[in-house]
Amino acid sequence: MEIIFLTFVFVLSIFLGFELINKVPSTLHTPLMSGSNAISGITLVGALASAGSANQSLATILGTLAVAFATINVVGGYLVTDRMLAMFKKKKQGGES
């Protein structure tokens, strides 16, 4: 039953994703990519459990590495997206000199 449940969540989320992203204008496609990339760093949550289990050395090593890489993804992704989005200005706000 759990398989069905997880698959259900998976399918619905994909449809939701399509609906959400279709509305993003092409101006924002690069920040969208880096921002959604940061979200895919969610795998960090999964890595935490392995890194902290401390009863299986291979899992701990893999988990720790996964935590490091996923954190790069999360921290770097959100920061760089923020940096980019801060640059997008409308004409009135001093875009024109």
d(CA 58, CA 54) in angstroms, rounded, equals 9
* Residue 67 contacts another protein per CB under 8 A: yes
* Residue 29 contacts another protein per CB under 8 A: yes
**Cα-trace Rg, the chain:** 19
* Residue 15 contacts another protein per CB under 8 A: yes
CB of 84 to another protein, least distance (A): 6
**Alpha-carbon separation of residue 8 from 13, 14, 39 (angstroms):** 9, 10, 20
* Residue 4 contacts another protein per CB under 8 A: no
By CB under 8 A, the count of residues binding another protein is 85
CB of 7 to another protein, least distance (A): 8
CB of 19 to another protein, least distance (A): 9
* Residue 1 contacts another protein per CB under 8 A: no
